[in-house]
A and B are shown apart, each in its own frame.
Chain A
Amino acid sequence: MVQDDDLAEALKAAADGDDAGFAVLWRSLQPPLLRYLRVVIGDAAEDVASETWLQAARDLSRFDGGPTAFRGWLFRIARHRAIDEQRRAARRPSSPVASLHDAERSGPSDAAADAMESIGTAWALRIIATLPPDQAEAVTLRVVAGLDVATTAQVLGKRPGSVRVATMRGLRRLAAHPDVAAVDDRWRRV
Chain B
Amino acid sequence: MGLLRALKNAMRIRSTRRIGRADADRLVSGETPGPGHRGLGVLLDAAAAPPSVEELAGERAAVARFVAAYRGAAPVPPARTPVRASRSARMAAVKVAAGVAVLAAGGTAVAAETGNLPAGARQFLTGLGVPAPDGGPRPTATGAGRTGAGTAAPSPAISAPPSRSAAPDPAEVWALDLCRSWDAARTNPHGKAVPAETRHALADLAGGEKRIDDFCADVLDASPSATASPSASGKGNGKDKPEKKAKPHPHPTPSPKGKGKDRG
Contact = CB atoms under 8 A, between A and B. Distances in A.
A87 to B, nearest CB: 11
B76 interface: yes
A19 B63 contact: yes
Contacts, number: 243
Interface string B30-48: 0000011111101110111
Given A57-B65, A57-B69, A81-B251, A68 B264 contact: yes
Given A22-B66, A57-B70, A80-B254, A171 B262 contact: no
Contact of B46 (A63, A65, A108, A120): A120
A65 B149 contact: no
A20 B259 contact: no
Contacts of A183: 38-39, 42-43
A146 B164 CA distance: 41
Most chain A CB atoms below 10 A, which of B28, B76, B196, B200: B28
Given A1-B150, A3-B141, A105 B193 contact: yes
B259 A73 contact: yes
B181 to A, nearest CB: 14
Interface string A1-39: 111101100100010011110111011111110110000
Interface string B58-75: 110011011101110000
Nearest to B131: A20
Interface residues of A, number: 92
B13 to A, nearest CB: 8
Interface in A67-103: 68-70, 72-73, 76-77, 80-81, 84, 100-101
B20 A168 contact: yes
B145 interface: yes
B8 to A, nearest CB: 14
B230 interface: no
A148 B263 CA distance: 9
Q: What DSSP secondary structure best describes chain B's contact surface? A: loop
Contacts of A123: 46
Given A19-B131, A20-B131, A59-B253, A65 B21 contact: no
Nearest to B52: A121
B193 to A, nearest CB: 5
13 contacts: A1-B149, A3-B141, A7-B139, A20-B104, A27-B59, A27-B153, A31-B51, A55-B253, A57-B69, A65-B260, A84-B251, A101-B193, A183-B43
Given A2-B139, A7-B139, A69-B262, 6 more contacts: A2-B143, A51-B251, A54-B200, A81-B251, A171-B28, A184-B38
